[in-house]
A and B are shown apart, each in its own frame.
Chain A
Amino acid sequence: MTDSVSLRALKKGQKAVIAAIQADGEMGRRIRDMGLVPGVEIEVVGRAPLRDPVALRLLGFTLTLRNNEADFILVTPA
């Protein structure tokens, strides 16, 4: 767990494995409902023209979330 970083820090094209979700309540539930749970491999596939939100690839689909939502997600870069 020592080398895990916030999802926000990932660059485009970078892959990582989710280490932990640090959100509860509505935010946490939404994130988990979309398949973002520890152990899942993700890849940053793009960023919006204003660098926020970010687009991720996981489990064969594309997901987008805001940078301040990405802060709740800790990942271990591959």
Chain B
Amino acid sequence: MAADKFIAIAGNPNSGKTTAFNWYTGARQHVGNYPGITVEQKKGTANLDGRNVQLVDLPGTYSLTAYSLEEVVARRVLAEEKPGAVIDVINAAVLERNLYLTVQMLEMGVPVVLALNMMDEAEAQGMKIDVKRLKELMGLTAVPTVARSGQGLQEVLAAAVALSDSSSECRPLEISYGPDIDEALKTMSAEAESANFLTGKYPARWVALKYLEDDEEVMKQGRTVSESVHNSLNATAGKLAAHLKSTLNTYPEAIIADYRYGYISSILRQGVLKEKDDTRNRIAYSDKIDKVLTNTFLGPLILALVLYGMYHVTISIGEYPLGWVEEAFDWLKDVVGDTMQDGLLKSMLTAGIIAGVGGVLTFVPLIMLMFLLISILEDSGYMARVAYMLDRVFRFFGLHGASIMPFIISGGIAGGCAVPGVMATRTLRSPRERLATMLTAPFMACGAKMPVFLLFVTIFFEDNKALIMSGLTIFGWVSALLVARLLRSTVIKGPSTPFVMELPPYRMPTISGVLIHTWERTWQYIKKAGTIILAISILLWAAMAFPELPEEVQETFTSRTAPLEEQLSAFPYKELADERKSLEEELEGVGEGKPEAAAIQARLDAVNEKLEKLPAGKLEAEIEELEGQLEELPEDPVADELRIRIAKLETAMVRLPAGSAGAKALEEQLEAAQTEFRKTPAGSLGVIIAEKREALDALPEKQLEARIAEIENEQAGKALRQSYAGRIGSFLEPITAPAGFDWRTNIALVGGIAAKEVVISTLGTAYALGEIDEDNEATLAERIRADKNWTTANAVALLLFTLLYSPCFVTLVVIKQESGKWRWLFFSLFFNLLLAYGVAVAANQLILRL
């Protein structure tokens, strides 16, 4: 035998094929894609009596007609890679339909070993299969198996290896297709045989059969091999088709299928299949579950619960591990930040590489959880019911019932993520519907868009926060569905893929199957997204960091800060505060409870003691204690309400011209509210804290610090403005003016293409606020409030733009990965930008004119 021969595993979907493959290979498998297409290619190694056997798991198909990508792939492997033998895993409970694929493989001359799987279920359903008789009639080895427990699998593999080792030629099966077709087949196969037409790959009769079946894939190959033979075969096939159409009003492929099924049922009737009793309903338990789960009223209700539960588990629970990964990367950033010299390399490492790769890896927990749940839903059989129940709705938009899952995960319930969402489109087997779903899922209100929404909704729609937030989510749905409809009637035009789909009986998913599935999909994401994102992160970082400010400009800044720094260092406070900071960081790095921590803590205490003897240190310590007390206070609804009223009044004040009658009235109300607030415990503490803080800020060393920070932020703002990203922002200003965006917003939005999380932090830098985090998001809100250029119209435009514009880079890369084409990445990028721009301009102009 040739050492490089491998065994392929074929079979219908839901036949237990993958379970068998997992049993054989365990962890010794790897998943890739077939070149150029997105069908998964699984290979692995099995062990048979100490000998390694290479296995390939073919995609699950019902037939080998080459209409779907899966069938094309399966057929290509069988014909071109010529496996030594094929293990055909058959669901014994649906023997007749499963043998349809078997017969087609035998016609191709493929050496087949049958694994009659799920024999336990078949028997429980009252079927009795005479395996010996089946073997005799079909002339091949057949072994009863139960893949879930591994029963019989070793025997099947041994038979397959033996078949592969044997030198005997496997003769293709020849079925009679009735006088008309048999006659044509005879002349056609003789012609193909004599011309050596495709016969290196396929048996001649099979080629002839495919010409009669009008098989595009084979005919395309035929045309390239020999135009004349191709034309001649095509002419014969056409003549027969015309004849059959006029005499029997049918097509050759219909007759061929009929005869194939006829052949199968004649075998089964020759004593192979005996049903003990003709029970009306062989899969009664599954029907009983379906009575509830697909019930007209209960079905949608349970579906809503399942979808919500899925979303909740993926996003809410996924948040914890996501937080851990984020923290780990923040820590890494700190370590690099502390140990490396300031400079370009450090900036690239922290702001470019660590932030970028961290961005990719933080999604991993989400993706794992999502695939875990989807695998469970798929393997249990529920996913098919989801598609069944919702198909009528989604079909209207040119989508498929199964489109719901990607939409929900992407943020159909606010707060999802489009990265796992786009990957979830793998459950769709219809290519056009799948692509449309993939391209529209990013319109949903994903979690990273939320902070942007929250910030602006808080500033401009304080009173209708919930309404506007849910309105944005709904707007995401409407956009996704309408755009899907548009795409399906333009760029992804074409009739809907036939829905015809099996509703497999409900089954308990196997743990190993679910885990293997989850891991292999996650790993694919890490590998692919990781490499591309790394490159893009560096590019984006460079756009924000270059060109640097001209040296003379940098010098003007340093010449302003240098004397201040010098004055500051004259204060003993400065040195001690620096020491405190580095000790605190060291402590955090070591972690509490470690033996080294005690020593650091002791040094920190000593520094703190010295600090408290200085006026600034004393005030800081006092403020910290008072703040602690403030937090300990019991909840006080009165104080909370007053606080909100004060905030609202302050916002309203800013929008009125100073000194006007309206402003004066507001001022009086504001003062009254503040007096009232001071009477509450929280208010009185707040007043003391504010006073202390004022005293602290008034200290010369603190004022110096503030001045330095101000100059540095100004420098950062200026640097960003004239970096490439900033120049793009300014360059875009005339274009984005109709939507009401200035250069600051533009840079933030350009940065948001990298990751939507960046929008707020970039806006902060552009407003020269330094890095924005949760602590000073409030200051950004104040800045925007105070900025007279920001109107409600602009805000609405920005909200809609953020919702609809280009997906983030990770999503774009995943779209490329899932669709297999760069084209769709660029389409997503530009089409969504254009759409968002149109909507934003329309909204801005409309509100301005109201």
B96 pairs with A59, CB closer than 8 A: yes
Flag whether A10 is at the interface (Cβ < 8 A). no
Closest to B97 in A: A35
On whether A29 and B65 interact (CB within 8 A), knowing A24-B251, A24-B253, A60-B94, the answer reads: yes
Q: With an 8 A cutoff between CB atoms, is A69 at the interface?
A: yes
Contact of A63 among B257, B258, B283, B500 (CB under 8 A): B500
Is A29 in contact with B63, judged by CB distance below 8 angstroms?
Answer: yes
Which B residues touch A26, using CB under 8 A? 67, 497-498
A72 and chain B: residue at smallest CB distance: B498
Instruction: Say yes or no: B392 contacts A48, CB within 8 Å.
Output: yes
Interface residues on A, range: 20 to 34
Q: Per-residue 0/1 for A45-64: is the Cβ within 8 Å of any B Cβ (1 yes, 0 no)?
A: 11011111101010111111
Q: Is A11 an interface residue (CB 8 A)?
A: no
- Interface positions, chain B 617-649, Cβ under 8 Å from A, are none
The answer to whether B391 and A52 touch across the interface, beta carbons within 8 angstroms, is yes
Name B283's contact: one of A21, A34, A62 (CB within 8 Å). A62
Interface string of A1-43 (1 = CB under 8 A from B): 0000000000000000000010010111111111101101000
A31 to B502, CA, bound (A): 11
Q: Would you give the shortest CB distance from B401 to chain A, in whole angstroms?
A: 8
Are A33 and B65 in contact, with the CB atoms below 8 A? Answer: yes
A30–B499 Cα distance when bound, in Å, is 9
Q: Are B498 and A31 in contact (CB under 8 A)?
A: yes
B395 within 8 A of A: yes
Q: Smallest CB-CB separation from A58: which chain B residue?
A: B97
| Chain B residues with a Cβ closer than 8 Å to the other chain, count | 47
State in angstroms the CA–CA spacing of A29 and B253 once bound together: 8
How far, in angstroms, from A33 to B623 measured CA to CA in the complex? Answer: 77
- B299 contacts chain A at the CB level, 8 A cutoff: yes
Give the residues in chain A near B96, CB-CB below 8 Å: 35, 59-60
CA distance A59 to B63 in the complex (A): 16
Distance between Cα atoms of A49 and B388 in the complex (Å)? 9
B554 to chain A, nearest CB (A): 66
CB-CB under 8 A from A38, the residues of chain B are 258
Which residue of chain A has its CB nearest to the CB of B250?
A20
Q: Which of B286-294, B472-480, B541-549 contacts A (4 or more CB under 8 A)?
A: B286-294
| A49-B502 contact in complex given A33-B63, A60-B125, C-beta closer than 8 Å | no
Roughly how many angstroms separate A48 CA and B294 CA in the complex, as a whole number?
7
A34–B498 alpha-carbon span in the complex (Å): 12
Residues in B whose Cβ lies below 8 Å from that of A40: 261
Residues of A within 8 A of B530 (CB): none
Q: List, in ascending order, chain B residues with CB within 8 A of A48's CB.
A: 294, 388-392
Residue of B nearest to A21 (CB): B254
* Complex interface: chain A residues within 8 A of B389 (CB): 48-49
Return the CB mask of B86-107 against A: 1 if under 8 Å, else 0.
Answer: 0000000111110010000000
Q: How far is the CA of A38 from the CA of B260 in the complex (A)?
A: 12
Contact call B261/A37, Cβ cutoff below 8 A = yes
Pick the residue among B65, B254, B283, B499 that contacts A53 (CB under 8 A): B499
Are A69's CB and B503's CB within 8 A?
no
B62, B95, B497: residue with the most chain A Cβ atoms closer than 10 Å: B62
In the assembled complex, the Cα of A38 lies from the Cα of B384 at a distance in Å of 26
Task: Tell me the nearest residue of chain A to B281, going by C-beta.
Answer: A57
Q: Which A residues are in CB contact (< 8 Å) with B296?
A: 49
Shortest C-beta distance, B466 to chain A (Å), equals 30
One digit per residue, 1 when the CB lies within 8 angstroms of any chain A CB and 0 when it does not, for chain B 363-401 equals 000000000000000000000100011111101000000
User: Given A29-B67, A33-B63, A48-B391, are A61 and B502 neighbors across the interface (CB < 8 Å)?
Assistant: yes
A-B contact pairs, 27 of them (CB 8 A): A24-B251, A28-B251, A29-B253, A30-B498, A31-B498, A32-B254, A32-B257, A33-B62, A33-B100, A34-B62, A35-B100, A40-B261, A48-B388, A48-B390, A49-B294, A49-B299, A49-B389, A50-B392, A55-B388, A60-B283, A61-B93, A61-B505, A64-B384, A64-B499, A66-B395, A66-B499, A69-B500
Q: Which B residues are closer than 8 A to A by beta carbons?
A: 62-63, 65, 67, 93-97, 100, 125, 127, 251, 253-254, 257-258, 261, 281-283, 286-287, 290, 294-297, 299-300, 384, 388-393, 395, 497-505
Taking A29-B257, A35-B97 as known contacts, 7 extra A-B pairs with beta carbons closer than 8 A to each other, sorted by chain A number, are: A27-B498, A28-B253, A29-B67, A33-B62, A59-B94, A66-B395, A69-B499
Q: Which residues of A contact B (CB under 8 A)?
A: 21, 24, 26-35, 37-38, 40, 45-46, 48-53, 55, 57, 59-66, 69
